[in-house]
Structure 1
Amino acid sequence: MSGEDWIGRAEAALAASGHKRGGARSALLQLLAAQTCVLSVADIEHAQNDPGRRSVSRASIYRILDELEQLQLVQRVEVGQGMVRYERARPAEEHHHHLVCVSCGRVTPFSDAGLERAIERLSKAIPLTVAEHEIVLRGACRDCGA
């Protein structure tokens, strides 16, 4: 799903749930739509408070992210050590997981069709209907070495 398609979907869902359009919410939607992977609240705050952009408070960022998460428009990614990052929710065919460097904090998305098939096989063998899954692999990236 393109960033523009995601923005349209997000704006429709926000309007249907009674949220106003414009301002900080629209600025945050634009930022999230342009991203290929996760952002921390600090990343969002820094980007939103660049010269030429409308300043957005940290409290507003958290409030908007909570709204978007409740509407299943963004997903929260726990990257370890109490750190949380956010990314726009994607359709199943764009599903990916994350590699997290424990040294520098870099988060890299990855996809693996074999892993997805293994999870699908596992879901048929266990007494649980799997609604969603997330895999975060932690280690040292090539730049940090190990």
Structure 2
Amino acid sequence: MKEEQRLFEIYLRNKGLKMTSARETVLQAFLRSEGHLSAEDLLAAAKRIDPGLGQATVFRTLKLLADAGLAQDACKDEGPRRYEHVYKHSHHDHLVCVGCGRLIEFCHPQIEKAQNEIFKEFGFRATGHRLELRGLCADCAKTFDLEKE
């Protein structure tokens, strides 16, 4: 956590901003969280630390965390935006249920190999990628099948 805090402070300083106690609280709440959280989830977690925090402060700080490279939008198209840790976290892809918004992380060596081959085939130097596979989770697929009958 200390390294992420140091990086965030450097980022803020370079932008002419300060590490306020409110920003530090939001950062700590974010770093303590696991998985994918919405801005509302982060607001609730931060308010457990400091009940006086405002929604706008949390949302603005989350944007700063993303701009600083500490957070990223885990899935851009399905449901509410959910953010995840990216700094020093292993690469993974996502399965996204278009029915309920469930998000599953996975890493598949053959997919990674194929993506690297595609970069090479087209003469690209890889700087990163995101793969989101969309479909219906087992629960939503059952509901969908029941509705069709």
The TM tier, using the shorter chain, reads 0.7 to 0.9
Instruction: Report how many aligned residue pairs link the two structures.
Output: 142
Q: Which amino acid aligns with 1:20?
A: K
Q: Please, which runs of 5 or more residues in structure 1 have no aligned partner? A: none
Identity %: 30
Alpha-carbon offset, residue 39 of structure 1: 1.2
Q: Deviations over 1:30-74 (max 9, x none)?
A: 122123322111211222233x53433222222212222222222
Cα distance in structure 1, aligned partners of 2:9 and 2:108: 31
Given the two structures, how large is their TM-score scaled by the length of structure 2? 0.76
Q: Which residue of 2 aligns with 1:126?
A: 122
Q: What letter matches 2:137 in structure 1?
A: C
1:28 aligns with 2:26: yes
* 1:24, distance to aligned residue in structure 2 (A): 2.0
2:100 paired with 1:100 = no
Amino acid in structure 2 at the alignment position of 1:117:
K
Gaps of 5+ in 2: 143-149
Write the letter of the residue equivalent to 1:9. Answer: L
Computing the radius of gyration over CA atoms, which structure comes out larger, 1 or 2? 2
Deviation of 1:4 (Å): 4.5
1:1-146 map, 5 Å: 3-50=1-48, 53-81=50-78, 83-91=80-88, 94-146=90-142
TM-superposed CA distance for 1:127, in Å, is 4.1
1:144 aligns to what SS in structure 2?
Answer: helix
The answer to which structure has the higher helix fraction is 2
State how far apart, in whole Å, the 2-side matches of 1:49 and 1:122 are: 45
**Deviates further, 74-83 or 58-67:** 74-83
